[in-house]
Amino acid sequence: MVLPSFLQQAQQWLLKTPERALDQAYEAARMIAAIENEHFGGNPISPTSSNFGQSAQRYFQGELKKYLNLIDIRMTEFRASSSILRASDPRILEIQVDTPTDDRYTLNLIDKPALFFRKLRFVDEVLARYRSPAPTPATVVMVKEPTTALQNTNSTLAANLTNGTPNPRERRGALVNGDNGAQSGIRADALSDRANVLPRSILRTVDRIRQDLDPQAEEQVMRNFRASRGKTTTAVKFILLLLIIPLLTQQFTKNFIIGPMVDYVRGETEAAVFLNLEMEEEALHELQQFEERLRFEVLIGKVEPMPELAIEQTVREKATDIEEEYRSRSADAVKNVFSDILAAIAFAGLLVARKREVAALKGFMDEVVYGLSDSAKAFIIILFTDVFVGFHSPHGWEILLEGLSRHLGFAANRDFIFLFIATFPVILDTVFKYWIFRYLNRISPSAVATYKNMNE
């Protein structure tokens, strides 16, 4: 008997999965709406909608992120389970009888599809304030109709139960009247959704005038200015730290920690002069040029005639100098590898340990970039795309990769360089175009139009 009971409970739990997931997403949306109404005056949770400090803003942003993630998870669960199970039967009407008072019973008729779609609409409305997708008109129709019909039906049935036995004829009339009222409500609400009573620009102007006439407006402006100045100062200091700390780490470790260790090890083991074949070819070419130049100057009389033995001695001294030079270059390349790794660790440590400064830097960069004029945005986008992914960019990438290889003591692999140039700028160009289409087109459409005109 235990196993059938367990299977029945599991079946009931599985059948209620869509409703349970929607209820949890609905509760998370209600928590977001409660924060908006209580702390942000009904506006979306944003630093521009309130005057809280940085700690409070971080708390509210954390709460918003937590509830939005919960909504995403539960709505994903809802969609997945709804594709397998029936989320709500449009024919189900749940009847609840309240506790009798004065020997009278009150009947509450709950239209579960109406409640179901009303929750869906509320979740969509909350998500629409933070994301671009908006609920379709079909969803609005599905929500409005059962709600109005439910109100009329509940009032009629409650009156019938209070006065006596319900009359089936009156009940059917109430249902019909409720449907008609629902349809008229749909049309009225649809019109009110499409057009506000006053344009939003007028409302914003009135709000700005109200703020200007506020006696505490000057103090509010000063507080905003101090907060903006603090963010800018923090961002600039953090940029300097990101530049100075890795550079100092690289130079300090190279000259005082890694350098002495590498010199000692290479001196004890008689390390090779050249780290790769390319360095050896460069040294031989340099020595050959020196010998040819010396013989040419002797032939043209620019220097005094020298016997062959003196020429060989001079070339031998030059070879010794070249050997010392390339030995030092090889040691520097080994030092650069380890010191650059430590500098990269220092840079990553700054990003991990200074999350508050990273957030301030991100906000500062957003304000700088999105605060530019449309023509300035288009100019910067064209400049970056032409430099990194333009027609002449392969030459710059080739020089950059060869310099990086020489800095680290590796031979410049031409095949790898050409493969990199053939793939990476293409990927970078795709990322640029996706960013323009996905983000800039939504935030500043006029900048995108200016960019297209300048490109043409």
Residue holding tokens 């499409």? 194
Q: How confident is the model at residue 117 (pLDDT cuts 50, 70, 90)?
A: confident
- In DSSP notation, 319-352 reads HHHHHHHHHHHHHHHHHHHHHHHHHHHHHHHHHH
Least confident among 40-44, 102-106, 160-164: 160-164
State how beta strands 93-97 and 107-111 pair. antiparallel
Tokens linked to 289:
């040029």
Residue 137 has pLDDT above 70, yes or no: no
Torsions phi, psi for 418 (to 5 deg): -65, -35
Mean pLDDT of 174-189: 41
Count Cα neighbours of 332 within 13 Å in the Cβ-side half-sphere.
10
Distance CA 404, CA 277 (A): 17
Predicted pLDDT of residue 92? 47
What does the pLDDT look like over 16-62, one tens digit per residue?
788 888 888 888 888 898 888 888 877 888 877 777 777 777 888 88
Hey, which residues does 70 pair with through a beta bridge?
none
In tens, the pLDDT along 64-80 reads 888 898 888 888 888 88
Give the angle 56-58-62 at the CA atoms, nearest 5°: 115
Among 102-106, 358-362, 423-427, which is the least confidently predicted range? Answer: 102-106
Give yes or no for residue 136 having a pLDDT over 50: no
Q: Give domain limits for the chain.
A: 12-87, 227-358, 372-456
Query: Is residue 130 within a helix (H) or strand (E), and if so which, with residue range?
Result: none
Within 10 angstroms of residue 253's Cβ, the number of other Cβ atoms is: 20
Describe the chain by its helix, strand, coil percentages, rounded to 5.
80, 5, 15
Using the predicted structure, report yes or no on whether residue 359 has a pLDDT greater than 50: yes
- Which band of pLDDT confidence, cut at 50, 70 and 90, is reported for residue 110? low
Res 234 pLDDT > 50:
yes
- How far apart CA 285 and CA 410 sit, in angstroms, is 19
Q: What is the residue whose two structure tokens read 């070819």?
A: 281
